[in-house]
Amino acid sequence: MAKTAVKTRTVAMTGNAGCALAMKQINPDVVAAYPITPQTTIVEEFANYVANGQVDTEYVNVESEHSAMSACIGASAAGARVMTTTSSQGLALMWEELSIASAMRLPIVMHNVNRALSGPINIHCDHSDSMGARDMGWVQLFSENAQEAYDNTIIAMRVAEHEDVLLPVMILHDGFITSHAIDRFDILGDDEVKSFVGEYIPKRTLLDVDDPATFGPFAMPAFYYEQRKALRVALDGAKDVVIKVSKEYGELTGRMYGLFEEYKLDDAELGIIVLGSTAGTAKYVVDRMRVEGVKVGLLKPRLFRPFPSAEIADALSHLKAVAVMDRSDSIGALGGPVYVEVKAALYNSSKRPAVQGYVYGLGGRDTGPDQIETVINDIKKVAGGEEAPRETVTLIGVKE
């Protein structure tokens, strides 16, 4: 256990309760949110904090997720510290507003509790909702468990409001698996969170009636492109800020987070890449196969946007073969979004492993250790010299 600068308290609560607690400790000026399974318990818990006077937040119970993000945009432009939370169809309904929030450079922090997109309608976990929003100009931080969801919430606020970033941040954790299961994790005291996130001092706000500014103007071809470039530069720059803020948080709590987590990857020949809660199962399988003498390790992406391509390519360069597991399918593409990103990241490297793509667990289909073991055995063949198939995506755990 690393030495920590503050006393932490260990609690047992659901991932959603942890997220609501982090929101309470941040004590944002405005929360505008709409209930949706499996996020609902966050808005309920937060409503209790409001009802009991434990936060100073203006809590806007909007009539849809579109209005949730619209109100967040208005509130953030007005200079408030703003948070919200959603899932799946709610995130889809916000789609139009997501890219307006990032283009207006508004540091809104949002939990998206991962749930499969309709149809057919399904309330269980996969990442199709978050992945559908991956090009919206938001920073995306994935969490494996309740501890990470809690920690990422506090880190996200600092990242979003950092003057080199000023972008919205989406924190992802897995529906039901993380959101509803009771987990044991460590929390900070209210004062520590308050001092870590500090006070938000916006540069320009709508409430400055003495120096009026226009937000959201109409940009013709002569101006639009440069604004989109500015957005790319800012999002790319968020990577360094995520590293910096996570390091500072690690010094405070002893919990160190990077752009991704490497688990027994140093001396590995085979690698598995998976994000979210399944990484926990994958670690168990890695341990089990290590005992059998299989040199396998795990890379768990944490920051998905901006995608740390060069860092991931370097971390994988010594491997013979890598399996990328996606809990969403990019239908019609080469494979799932993580697979496509990883494969593209490796293409220009001279030293690179063979890469195989797997889709798993759509709509909450259980993904057990056996499936992950099958995947590792699959890439073992490729590492052993067998030619990798060109159509490389495999849907695992699906009934034929």
Partner 1 sequence: MATIKELSRKPDLLSGGHRLCAGCGASIAVRQVLLGANTPVVAGSATGCLEVSSTPYPFTAWKVPFIHNAFENSAATISGVEAAYQALKRKGKIDKDIKFVAFGGDGGTYDIGLQSLSGAMERGHNMVYVCYDNGAYMNTGIQRSGATPFGAATTTSPAGKVRAGKPQQRKDLTQIIAAHNIPYAAQASISHWKDLIKKAEKAFTVDGPAFINVLAPCPRGWRVGNDETIEIAKLAVQTGFWPLYEVEDGEWTLNFKPKELKPLVDFLKPQGRFRHLFKPGNEQVLEEFQFQINKNWEMLKKRCGVE
In the complex, what is the shortest distance from the CB of residue 32 to partner 1, in angstroms, rounded to a whole number?
6
Rounded CA separation 341/338 (Å): 5
C-beta closer to partner 1: residue 39 or 99:
99
In the complex, what is the shortest distance from the CB of residue 105 to partner 1, in angstroms, rounded to a whole number?
13
Binding test (CB under 8 A) with partner 1, winner from 13, 17, 36, 80: 80
Cβ contact 289:296 at 8 Å? yes
Q: Is position 47 an interface residue for partner 1 (rule: CB under 8 A)? A: no
Element (H, E) at 313: helix 309-316
Rounded CA separation 89/129 (Å): 7
C-beta closer to partner 1: residue 57 or 140:
57
Q: Following CA atoms 105, 110, 114, 116 in sequence, which dihedral angle do they give, to the nearest 10 degrees?
A: -60
Q: Is position 216 an interface residue for partner 1 (rule: CB under 8 A)? A: yes
**CA distance to 29, 79, 81, 88, 348, per residue, from 202 (Å):** 13, 6, 9, 30, 40
Q: Segment 83-122, which members bind partner 1 (CB under 8 A)?
A: 96-97, 100
Q: Is position 123 an interface residue for partner 1 (rule: CB under 8 A)? A: no
Element (H, E) at 357: strand 354-359
Q: Is position 209 an interface residue for partner 1 (rule: CB under 8 A)? A: yes
* Cα–Cα–Cα angle for 134, 200, 216, rounded to 5 degrees: 55
Binding mask 335-364 for partner 1 (x = CB under 8 A): ------------------------------
Phi and psi angles of residue 97, each rounded to the nearest 5 degrees, phi first? -80, -25
C-beta closer to partner 1: residue 95 or 181:
95
Contacts with partner 1: how many residues (CB under 8 A)?
A: 43
Rounded CA separation 103/81 (Å): 17
Binding test (CB under 8 A) with partner 1, winner from 135, 164, 208, 287: 208
Amino acid at position 307, single letter? F
Q: Is position 77 an interface residue for partner 1 (rule: CB under 8 A)? A: yes
User: Residue 306 corresponds to which tokens in the numbers above?
Assistant: 């901006």
In the complex, what is the shortest distance from the CB of residue 72 to partner 1, in angstroms, rounded to a whole number?
6
Binding mask 178-207 for partner 1 (x = CB under 8 A): ---------------------------xxx
Q: Segment 56-75, which members bind partner 1 (CB under 8 A)?
A: 56-58, 60-64, 66-67, 70-75
Binding test (CB under 8 A) with partner 1, winner from 3, 218, 385, 391: 218
Under DSSP, the state recorded for 386 is P
Amino acid at position 352, single letter? R
User: Residue 121 corresponds to which tokens in the numbers above?
Assistant: 């309608």
Interacting residues toward partner 1 by CB under 8 A: 29-30, 32, 56-58, 60-64, 66-67, 70-80, 82, 96-97, 100, 205-209, 212-220, 223
